[in-house]
Amino acid sequence: MERLLYLGCMVYNRFPDYELSAKAVLSKLGFKLRDFHEFACCSSTFIPSVSEAWIYLSAYNLALAERRGLDIISLCGTCTSMLKRTNLMLKDEKLKEEVNSRLAGVGLSYSGKVRVSHLLEVLKENEDKIRAHVAKPLKLRVALQHPCNVFRPSEVARFDDPFKPKAMREIVALTGAEIVDYAQEYECCGSTLLLTSKALGLGAGASKLASAREAGAQAIVVSCGNCAYLFDRHQEEIKKQEPKAELPTLFLPQLLGLAFGLSKEELGLDIRRVELG
């Protein structure tokens, strides 16, 4: 039950409450999470857009984990996908040799043994334990944001249905919270669009959040830092554009933690306060 928690840049930089609540909930479920010292970016969308060498940086993270003999739990969609893609590509022995000769330059090697799972996959595998830990069933209506890259491309993700994933619904249902159906539930959040067009990203976010609120949601539940970056960090701007898109963001482990009866402090809700309307 010992695992390395891969934060990725976004969570490390912006969402300590996601990290804190994930640690609190997973430790309740019996996991021993270790901090991932010296981790680096997974290469994200940036390095692949300029060079094939992106795989070296991604593989470096896997090699660090292998040296510690631990599998990885990740918190964002893209990190999960990049690390899994690397594992998949390294089934090619020639590429693996090449990657290893680069890793040798920094004193590492990688044989391909580290399993990478997104938080959602881990929770799905521990449904029974979650059920047993629910102490305070929630009276709350929530909308879900399914994290794209945890399911797509399916060839890389190998988890759940790529267009209509069910795992998050099944887990959230265990908390007692009511899950609203909303028209745009299975649409991408659009956060990455912010990179080249702020208006486009905000527009995508506004239309999703408005759709969720219209369906009666009191919060949107996310399990990716990138989704939270759009919905939470841009909430003010989104609201200005579309007043009907006012909706607080909760991280999946915060919701679970509340149902487990954990304190606001344990879930980081004393600092980034979430007012549930």
Partner 1 sequence: MGECNRCGACKKVCIAFKRGVATGASVLEREDRFTCAGCWKCVEACPEGVDIYNLMMEARRRGELPESFRMGVKYILDTGYAMPMRGVNAIREMYRLPKIRKVKPEVVKKLLREVELD
Residues near partner 1, by CB under 8 A: 7, 9-10, 12-13, 16-17, 19-20, 35-41, 43-51, 53, 56-57, 60, 78, 102-103, 105-106, 148-149, 152-155, 162-163, 187-193, 195-197, 200, 203-204, 265, 268, 271
For residues 29 and 103, which CB has a smaller minimum distance to partner 1 in the complex? 103
In the complex, the smallest distance separating the C-beta of residue 128 from partner 1, rounded to whole angstroms, is 29
Give the chain as a 3 state SS string. Answer: CEEEEECHHHHHHHCHHHHHHHHHHHHHCCCEEEECCCCCCCCCCCHHHCCCCHHHHHHHHHHHHHHHCCEEEECCHHHHHHHHHHHHHCCCHHHHHHHHHHHHCCCCCCCCCCCEEEHHHHHHHCHHHHHHHCCCCCCCEEEEECCHHHHCCHHHHCCCCCCCCCHHHHHHHCCCCEECCCCCCCCCCCHHHHHCCHHHHHHHHHHHHHHHHHCCCCEEEECCHHHHHHHCCCHHHHHHHCHHHCCCEEEHHHHHHHHHCCCCCCCCCCCCCCCCC
In the complex, the smallest distance separating the C-beta of residue 249 from partner 1, rounded to whole angstroms, is 17
Place of tokens 């991280």: 251
For residues 117 and 149, which CB has a smaller minimum distance to partner 1 in the complex? 149
In the complex, the smallest distance separating the C-beta of residue 185 from partner 1, rounded to whole angstroms, is 14
In sequence order, what are the beta bridge partners of 2?
32
For residues 49 and 93, which CB has a smaller minimum distance to partner 1 in the complex? 49
In the complex, the smallest distance separating the C-beta of residue 114 from partner 1, rounded to whole angstroms, is 17
For residues 10 and 212, which CB has a smaller minimum distance to partner 1 in the complex? 10
In the complex, the smallest distance separating the C-beta of residue 268 from partner 1, rounded to whole angstroms, is 6
For residues 102 and 141, which CB has a smaller minimum distance to partner 1 in the complex? 102
For residues 52 and 277, which CB has a smaller minimum distance to partner 1 in the complex? 52
In the complex, the smallest distance separating the C-beta of residue 104 from partner 1, rounded to whole angstroms, is 10
